[in-house]
Amino acid sequence: METRVDPTQFVVIAALLLVVLIGVLRPPEGSESELTRDAFWRMKIDQPPVYDMVFAGDSRVLCDVSPKAVAGETGGRVYNFGFNFVGYTREYLDAIESKLDANSQRKTIVLGITPRSLTPLNMAVSGYAEENSREFLDVMGQKYLSYPISTMRPFMLSAIVMHLRGKSTAKNFYRDGLMSVEIKPADINQDLKTYSTIFVGNQVSEPHIAALIDRVRLWRSKGIAVYAFRPPVSPAIFDAEKASAFDQHYFVEQFTNAGGRWIEIDAKGLTLADGSHVTATSVDLFSQRLGRAIRNMPAT
């Protein structure tokens, strides 16, 4: 007697096998993540005003600064309030200050200064604005359904191919606001193509720099210590950033005249994941150096 397979059953079985296969082959998320991606961003936006020190800036702060490692040098309650593609808009500057504990005796803001964070594009396309303006249903999903959402998140089949070849990119999401990056093997030239074109018609904005300096002056008048630093990049990307027309010497002069303290951090021994972010294994070393520099440079 011939056995006939129901087409519907065949499709269901094939679909289940495909799901299992994808689950097995799908590249892993960050091995040390404390949160799902969506919960991480929601928690970052909703942070209460309980911190002594807040770090701010674009992805080179988001991915490079470990509050835990910084606090090991400075003490106090430290948070990483960095975002992807962020610019120092008025709304973002307000939000940075809002995370400080009003009763803290050591209120401190630390700014990661990159040429991209001072461009019109980053002012217009802001990771902070994107997360802060999500619709109600999106917010509820981030808060209460982040795990099932993360398991159903679309991914590119090319990522599986790269994973099978021993290459992978993963992100670790931490409760203190750090999102570290794992790229295996590290590729110091990965971001160079982006930096080679990002400043075409998109140089740093002098009005935005002036507004940032004014805010630094205001913070200092409120008794808030303000520090700034330029996160490390590869020599090739540093050269590409010259197209931004960012004059670091002039910026530092304005910043210090407004009462800020500029920090130079030794990049020796750091591994760059993609040329513009330190790899997850170098985050602690970089952050310890940053914290030590802040500790040894009291605000004036």
Residue range 4-53, pLDDT digits in tens: 556 666 655 655 555 444 444 444 455 567 888 888 999 999 999 999 99
pLDDT reported for residue 20: 43
Cα Rg for the chain, rounded, in angstroms?
Answer: 22
Strand pairing partners for 112?
229
Residue range 249-292, pLDDT digits in tens: 999 999 999 999 999 999 999 999 999 999 999 999 999 999 99
pLDDT reported for residue 26: 44
Residue range 196-233, pLDDT digits in tens: 999 999 999 999 999 999 999 999 999 999 999 999 99
Q: Is the distance from CB of 245 to CB of 162 less than 8 angstroms?
A: no
User: Could you give all domains of the chain from N- to C-terminal order, each with its CATH number?
Assistant: 30-295 (3.40.50.1110)
Distance between CA atoms of residues 26 and 161, nearest Å: 9
Per the prediction, the chain carries an average pLDDT of 87
Distance between CA atoms of residues 144 and 122, nearest Å: 30
pLDDT reported for residue 244: 98
pLDDT reported for residue 3: 52
φ/ψ of residue 299, rounded to 5: -65, 140
By CB atoms closer than 10 A (0-12, 13-18, 19+), residue 88 is buried
